[in-house]
């Protein structure tokens, strides 16, 4: 049905999508995890209550999440060019994807950590645990199931955003779908790429669910 160059292009597209998604999610967590921890502990009644710090983290996260990804992508072009050296291609897309994912991930992390039983935190305090010990030994450990579920959602969301990167020549399956399916009316290629995106989401979700089942000790 498809010629070899098109098959090769689609395979390359899968690789690019995976790279964008996983790298952006990873960097998103590098920023979003401490951000989420910060939100959790500086909140009123938190371990290191700090109204000013909370306000800054809170407002920043809301502000950044309210910018549509497509606009962010364009707004960040100069920054991307400065950091990555170019503003087109797969690598260049990772930066705006990360910037867009981080505040969302921070909120995911915050909501996961707030689920951790306050009684267990109190018990740790009663044992003489410091704030950082509570974060690393209690919050992140007891909240890990919820954190993994959150990571699954974040990854699939980033995957969805990565498809939009096609607009700026970002590469990946979304790029192919837009270029061939939308600009050139090649519905076949578009359907295939969409199916592949659906499969990828399913795979991420499956991996996430498996991990949750394997690691949860609450039953």
Partner 1 sequence: MGIVELQHLSKTFGTGDGQVHALKDVSLSVDEGDIYGIIGMSGAGKSTLVRCINFLEVPTEGEVVVEGRNMKELNEREIREERARIGMIFQNFNLLMQKSVLDNVCFPLTLHHEKKEDAQKRAQELLALVELTDKAQSYPAQLSGGQRQRVAIARALASNPKILLCDEATSALDPQTTKSILALLKRINEELGITIIIITHQMSVVREICRHVAIIENGSLAEKGDVEEIFTHPKSRAGQKLIIGGSDPENASAMRTVTELLESRKIRIVFSENSSYEPVIANMVLTIGQPVNILRADTKNVGGTAKGEMILGLPGEEEVQEKIISYLKDHNLSVEEVSGDVF
Cβ count within 10 A of residue 104: 20
Query: 74, 141, 195, 198: which one contacts partner 1 (CB under 8 A)?
Result: 141
Using alpha carbons, select from 204, 202, 200, 196 the residue that is nearest to residue 151: 204
CB 175 within 8 Å of CB 13? yes
Per CB under 8 A, does 142 bind partner 1? yes
183/219 with CB nearer partner 1: 219
Residue 12 beta carbon to partner 1: minimum distance, rounded to whole angstroms: 41
Determine the interface stretch with partner 1 among 52-60, 76-84, 139-147, 159-167 (rule: CB under 8 A): 139-147
> Does the footprint of partner 1 cover residue 45 (CB under 8 A)?
no
Among the listed residues 65, 137, 184, 210, the single contact to partner 1 using CB under 8 A: 137
CB of 33 to partner 1, least distance (A): 18
Q: What is the largest CA-CA distance in the chain?
A: 68
**Complex with partner 1: residue 18 or 120, whichever CB lies closer:** 120
Q: How far is the CB of 128 from partner 1 (least distance, A)?
A: 4
Angle between helices 51-65 and 4-42 (to 10 degrees): 160
Please list every residue from 156 through 215 that binds partner 1, using CB under 8 A.
215
Count of residues interacting with partner 1 (CB under 8 A): 24
Closer of 5 and 217 to partner 1 (Cβ): 217
Kindly tell me which of 136 and 182 has the beta carbon lying closer to partner 1. Answer: 136
Contact letters for partner 1, residues 101-130 (x by CB under 8 A): ----------------x-xx-xxxxxxxxx
Nearer to partner 1, 131 or 209 (CB): 131
Residues that bind partner 1 (CB under 8 A): 117, 119-120, 122-130, 133, 137-138, 141-142, 144-145, 215-219
């Amino acid at each position: 049905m498809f010629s070899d160059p098109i098959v090769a292009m689609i395979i390359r597209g899968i690789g690019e999508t995976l790279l964008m998604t996983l790298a952006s999610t990873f960097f998103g967590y590098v920023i979003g995890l401490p951000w989420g921890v910060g939100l959790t502990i500086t909140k009123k009644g938190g371990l290191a209550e700090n109204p000013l710090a909370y306000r800054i983290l809170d407002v920043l996260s809301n502000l950044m999440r309210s910018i549509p990804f497509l606009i962010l992508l364009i707004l960040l072009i100069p920054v991307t060019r400065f950091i990555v050296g170019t503003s087109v291609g797969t690598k260049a897309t990772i930066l705006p994807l990360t910037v867009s994912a981080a505040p969302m991930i921070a909120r995911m992390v915050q909501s996961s950590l707030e689920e951790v039983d306050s009684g267990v935190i109190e018990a740790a305090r009663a044992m003489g645990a410091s704030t950082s010990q509570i974060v690393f030994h209690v919050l992140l450990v007891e909240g890990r199931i919820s954190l993994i579920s959150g990571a699954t959602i974040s990854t699939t969301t980033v995957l969805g955003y990565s498809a939009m990167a096609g607009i700026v020549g970002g590469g990946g399956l979304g790029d192919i779908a837009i270029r061939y399916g939308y600009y050139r009316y090649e519905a076949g290629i578009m359907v295939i790429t969409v199916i592949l995106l659906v499969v990828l989401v399913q795979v991420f979700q499956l991996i996430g669910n498996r991990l949750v089942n394997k690691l949860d000790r609450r039953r």
